[in-house]
Structure 1
Amino acid sequence: MTTVDSGRLYGVGLGPGDPELMTVKAARLIAAAPVVAYHSARHGRSIARSIAASLLREGQIEEALVYPVTTEQTDDYRGTIEEHYDSWAARLAAHLDAGRDVVILCEGDPFFYGSYMHMHKRLAHRYPTEVVPGVTSISGAAAVLGRPLVERDEVLTVLPGTLPAPDLAARLAATDSAAVMKLGRTFPAVRDALTESGRLAEAWYVERATTSRERISPLADVDPSTVPYFSLALVPSRLHTAPASPGSDVADAAAPACTGDVVVVGLGPAGRDWLTPEALAAVEAADDLVGYGPYLDRVPANPRQRRHASDNRVEAERAEFALALARSGRRVAVVSSGDPGVFAMAAAVLEVAAEPRWKDVPVRVLPGLTAAQAVASRVGAPLGHDFCVLSLSDRLKPWDVIARRLTAAAQADLVIAIYNPGSRSRTWQVAEARELLLAHRSPDTPVVLGRDVGGSGERVRVVRLADLDPAEVDMRTLLIVGSSQTRVQERDGAPPLVWTPRRYPGTD
C-alpha cells in the first residue's frame, strides 16, 4: 500500500519540439521535480530530454527508460517491451514510495500516442497522478504548414501508419482532413494508401515540426529512405482558400490549389441495407449530392448537404455540374442506383472528366451491389456460371446493335442479365428479344423477372422463355435468362430455386 507521504506522479507533455511551445505549468514542474524520467533508444539520446534540457538543474535525479528494441525484428516484441515497462514502473515506484515526485517527459501530448501512458496504466492507481497536456505534433505540423486542419463542419481523422494499407485508404477516402502518424518504415504503404484513396495530391509531409531540423514537402516528392519515425502525413482542410502571407516561403510552398473531388457512388438496388459501408461513408462525407431525383430521395436528408436533382436524360450535364462544384472546392457525391459502373453514372462522369479542362479534378468510383446480383439472390444462383449483361434500351445505341449482341449471347449459351427491358415509350423490345432468344434457346429456358427487389414493390417470378409476357415488364424490372444448363427446382409452398451449375458438360 502507498503511504500518504508518497510522491506525486506527473505525465508532462512537452509539445512538438520547440521548447518555447511547452506550457508554463510543464516548465514549472520539470524545473522543480526531484526526479525526471524520459524514454530513449539504446543509443541513449532522448528527444524528450533534449526539449526540456534548459529546464533541468544540477542535483535532479534522471531516470533514462531505455527501450531494448525499436524497429528491429524480435521473436516476442510485445513480451519483451512489457517486461521493460514493468521494470521501469518498479524503478519509478521506488522514488514515489520514498516521497519523491516524478515527472515523466513526453513529446507532444502524454495521452496522444505517447509512451507515458504505459507508466500511467501501471502507476496511476497507486499514486497521486496528474497529466499535463501538451501541444500535439499534428497541431505543430499544421502551424508550420500554414494550413488549417479543419473548418466549419469538416471531420479530422487521425490514423497510425501501421494500419494495413487497404484500411488506411478506405479511411482516408471517407474523411475530410487526416493526419497519419508513425511514418518511418510505414511510409511506402502510407503513400500507396493516399494514392489509392485519391488524396495524394492533397497530402503534405512534415518532419520534426517546430524544430531546427524541420522539413516540409509535398508528400509525393519525398524519398522513402529519408523518412524518420518523427514525421507525419497531413491532409489539411479543403476549405481554406486564404492567400499566404507576402514573403513567406513556407506559406507559399504550402498553398496548393484548393480543389474538392467527385466520388461516384453506387447506392445498391434499394435501401440502406444494400449500401456498402464505404459508399455510405462517402455519401455522408459529401458537401453536395448530385443525381437523378428518385435516387437522391433514397439518401436521408442532411441539412449540411446541398442536393442537386436532375432528370435521368441529362447525364453529361449532371457530370459537368458535379465537376464544376468539385473544382470550386466542394466534395461531391454523384449517386447511382446499383453499381455506378453498370449502365450508370460512372462512365458519364469519366467521359466528361477526360476533357482537358477537368484534368485537375480528382474523380473516384465506389462500387455498389448490382440489380442483377440482387435479383439473382432472390431465386438462388442463376449467375453461377458464365454470364453477360445487356441493356435493351435503344436510347443510346441502335436496336440492330442490341439484336446482334443478344443473338451472339444466345448462341454462346451465356446466362443473360437484361437491364432496361422496357418503359412507357419502349413497349416492343421485350417481345422482339424473346423471339431472338427462342431462335437459339429452348422454350423451357427459365427466365427470372425481378421487379423493385429490396423495395416495397418487390415482385419476383420464374417463367418459361416461351411464356415471357412483355406486359409484365417495365423499366424497374430486370430479366435473367438462363442458359441450357440453368436448373429450376420447384418447392411446395415456396418460390422455386434457380441455379446454373459451375461444371459444364464435357469437363472432367
Structure 2
Amino acid sequence: MSTGVLYGVGLGPGDPELLTVRAARLISAADVIAYHCARHGRSIARSVAEPYLHEGQLEERLMYPVTTETTNHPGGYEGAIAEFYEVSAKRLAEHLDAGRDVVLLCEGDPFFYGSYMYMHERLADRYEAHVVPGVTSVSAAAAVLGRPLVQRDEVLTVLPGTLPGPELARRLADTDAAAVVKLGRTFGTVREALAESGKLDEAFYVERATWQTQRVEPFAEVDPSTVPYFSVAVVPSPAYAARKSGAAEPPEPVEPARGGEVVVVGLGPAGPQWLTPEAEQALAEAEHLVGYGPYLAKVPQRAGQRRHASGNRVEADRAAEALELASHGARVAVVSSGDPGVFAMASAVLEQAERPEWTDVSVRVLPGVTAAQAAASRVGAPLGHDYCVLSLSDRLKPWEIIEARLDAAGAADLVVAVYNPASRSRTTQLATAREVLLRHRAPETPVVIARDVGGPEESLRVDTLGTFDPAVVDMRCLLIIGSSRTRVRQQPDGTRLVWTPRRYD
C-alpha cells in the first residue's frame, strides 16, 4: 500500500473566507484533519477551517503540554516541546503509513512562525509533503489598517516580540517599516523599543485582524493588560504616512549644507565597560551611526538616531556613506571595534575624505582600548617593553611584506602582537609566521592566545612558540608572542602571568 500525503495548510489570519481555494479543497478532501491546541482543548485553527469539514473525517488533536507556563520536564520548556513534536510526528506518521492523507491546519502561513514547520522537518524526508501558503497576520494587519506596508525602495523588517529590548530597538531604528509579532506578554518590551527607536508615534496596534472582534488603535494608546498573543505591531510605509498627513517627502538636497562632522569612535574590544566617556558622549550626540552590524549592535539605541549597518568587507563604502551624510550637515559617528586607528575604520575614513567632494567635512578620531591592550592586561604585562603590532591578513597587502616585517621584528627582538591570525580562507599563514619567528626565538618563548577578550566566550591560554597549535586559532583570537626577555610567573592559585621586563641587563 502506498503512503498518504502530508499537507501543511495555511488558513490565513482568521476569517474563513480568506482561505485559498486550494486550502478549502484539500481540507474538504482530507482523510485526517490535524491541528494544534493548548491544554484547554480549543483550537483556533479548527474553528477557522470548520466550514470546510465534513462527517467521517478523522481528527487528530495535537495538544501542547505547555504554552507559556513552567514545566517540571527534565529538559525544561525546550525539552518538553521537543518531545511533544516527536510524539506528534509519530502520530501523524501512523496515519500516513496507513495510506491516509493528512492535512495539518496552521493559522496564517505554515512557514511564517507556523507550528507546521516542526512536523515538516520531521516528516518531509520520509513522506510526500506539500505546503499551501496562507495570508499572514502581517498582511492582514496592513489590510485592516488601510495602509501599505512598504513602497518603492522602502525596507520592511518582521520581528518577533520575544527578542531582547535593545535588539528590537536597534532593528526598528534600522528599517523603514516594521511588523512585530508575538505580542501578549512582550507588549511592554515592544513599546519601549518603539519609543527608543523613535517609531512609537508611527506604530499601530492590530488585534485579531479580520476577525469579528478585531481591534485597531495607535500603539501608544493601548492598555498593556488587554493585549492577547494574537496581535501585531505595525509601522507602515513612512512615505505613505507623509503623504497622508500632507507633509512633503524630504527633497534631495541640491547644494550640500556645511557643518557636518564624522567622528570615528573606538568601542574597545567588547562591552560597555571598555568604552571611554568621551566615546560614549560622541555616540549619544550623533544623528547617524555607521558601522559593521555586530559592532553597531553593541551601541544602545537612542530615540531619533538612524543606523546604517553593513558587512565586514566594505570599509571604503561605509566610510563614503558616513562622509556623504556629514556633507549634508549631519553629525555622524562611525563605530569601530577596539581602537579605530589600529587596523580599523579611521584610516578608511581618512582615505575617502581625500576625495574632492568631501574636503569640507571635518573628521575626528576618538581612541579606544585595543585588543592587544585588553589581552595583555588579562595575562599580566607582556607588552611591558618595546613591541610591534602586525596583521597576518594579506587581503590589503601581499604576504611577502608581512613575512619581511615578521622577520625584522624577530631580528629586533620585539614582542609581537598578532592581529587577524587566521580565518576560514587563511589557514597556513600562522604556521609560516611561527617558522619565521623561530629563526630568531627559542621554542620556549611564551605565546599568549587570547580569544574573545571581554566577551562571553573569553579564553586565554599561555603556550610556547615551539608547541602551540595553529589549528586552535581563529579570527576571533589575538596572539602575543614574547621576546627573548619575556617571562612567565606562576601564581599561588595556579594561574600564570606573562610579563616583559622594562630593561635589558
TM-score (norm 1): 0.55
Distance 1:265 1:169, change over 3 A: farther
Paired residue secondary structure (2:240): coil
Report the residue type matching 1:72 in the other structure.
E
Distance 1:283 1:196, change over 3 A: closer
Report the residue type matching 2:264 in the other structure.
P
Report the residue type matching 2:20 in the other structure.
T
CA–CA distance in 1 between the matches of 2:364 and 2:240?
A: 46
Contact 2:261/2:326, CA 8 A, preserved across alignment? no
Report the residue type matching 2:195 in the other structure.
T
The alpha-carbon deviation at position 84 of structure 1 amounts to 1.1
For the pair 1:28 / 2:50, whether they are aligned, the reply is no
CA–CA distance in 2 between the matches of 1:479 and 1:27?
A: 62
CA–CA distance in 1 between the matches of 2:260 and 2:161?
A: 27
Contact 1:268/1:274, CA 8 A, preserved across alignment? no
CA–CA distance in 2 between the matches of 1:44 and 1:477?
A: 63
Residue 181 of structure 1 is matched in structure 2 by: 181
* 1:379-390 pair list within 5 angstroms: none
Residue 296 of structure 2 is matched in structure 1 by: 277
Paired residue secondary structure (1:159): strand
CA–CA distance in 2 between the matches of 1:127 and 1:238?
A: 45
Residue 134 of structure 1 is matched in structure 2 by: 134
Residue 212 of structure 1 is matched in structure 2 by: 212
Residue 336 of structure 1 is matched in structure 2 by: 331
* 1:312-331 pair list within 5 angstroms: none
| Segment of structure 1 superposing worse, 265-274 or 143-152 | 265-274
Q: Following superposition, which runs of at least 4 residues in structure 1 exceed 4 angstroms of deviation?
A: 255-261, 264-267, 270-276, 307-310, 367-370, 451-454, 475-480, 489-494
CA–CA distance in 1 between the matches of 2:215 and 2:99?
A: 43
Paired residue secondary structure (1:455): helix
CA–CA distance in 2 between the matches of 1:284 and 1:478?
A: 19
**C-alpha offsets along residues 366-390 of structure 1, whole Å, 9 cap, x if unaligned?**
x8579xx757x79xxxxxxxxxxxx
CA–CA distance in 2 between the matches of 1:479 and 1:88?
A: 57
**C-alpha offsets along residues 165-197 of structure 1, whole Å, 9 cap, x if unaligned?**
000000000001001111111111111111111
CA–CA distance in 2 between the matches of 1:55 and 1:139?
A: 23
For the pair 1:43 / 2:40, whether they are aligned, the reply is yes
Contact 1:201/1:220, CA 8 A, preserved across alignment? yes
Report the residue type matching 1:96 in the other structure.
L
The alpha-carbon deviation at position 268 of structure 1 amounts to 3.4
Contact 1:19/1:52, CA 8 A, preserved across alignment? yes
Report the residue type matching 1:38 in the other structure.
Y
Contact 2:27/2:33, CA 8 A, preserved across alignment? yes
Paired residue secondary structure (1:68): coil
Contact 1:267/1:369, CA 8 A, preserved across alignment? no
* 1:301-312 pair list within 5 angstroms: 309=327
Residue 58 of structure 2 is matched in structure 1 by: 61
Distance 1:172 1:478, change over 3 A: closer
Residue 239 of structure 1 is matched in structure 2 by: 239
Aligned with residue 321 of structure 2, among 280, 296, 299: 299
Report the residue type matching 1:18 in the other structure.
D
Residue 117 of structure 1 is matched in structure 2 by: 117
Distance 1:259 1:231, change over 3 A: farther
CA–CA distance in 2 between the matches of 1:150 and 1:52?
A: 30
Residue 313 of structure 2 is matched in structure 1 by: none
Specify the structure having the higher radius of gyration (Cα).
1
Distance 1:171 1:257, change over 3 A: farther
Residue 396 of structure 1 is matched in structure 2 by: none
For the pair 1:154 / 2:154, whether they are aligned, the reply is yes
CA–CA distance in 1 between the matches of 2:193 and 2:14?
A: 28
The alpha-carbon deviation at position 82 of structure 1 amounts to 1.0
CA–CA distance in 2 between the matches of 1:84 and 1:265?
A: 58
Paired residue secondary structure (1:16): coil
* 1:96-107 pair list within 5 angstroms: 96-107=96-107
Identity over the aligned pairs, expressed in percent?
Answer: 55
Paired residue secondary structure (2:14): coil
Paired residue secondary structure (2:56): coil
CA–CA distance in 1 between the matches of 2:242 and 2:387?
A: 70
Residue 263 of structure 2 is matched in structure 1 by: 268
Distance 1:96 1:457, change over 3 A: closer
CA–CA distance in 2 between the matches of 1:479 and 1:94?
A: 65
Residue 406 of structure 1 is matched in structure 2 by: none
TM-score (norm 2): 0.55
Distance 1:73 1:479, change over 3 A: closer
The alpha-carbon deviation at position 54 of structure 1 amounts to 0.7
The alpha-carbon deviation at position 8 of structure 1 amounts to 0.5
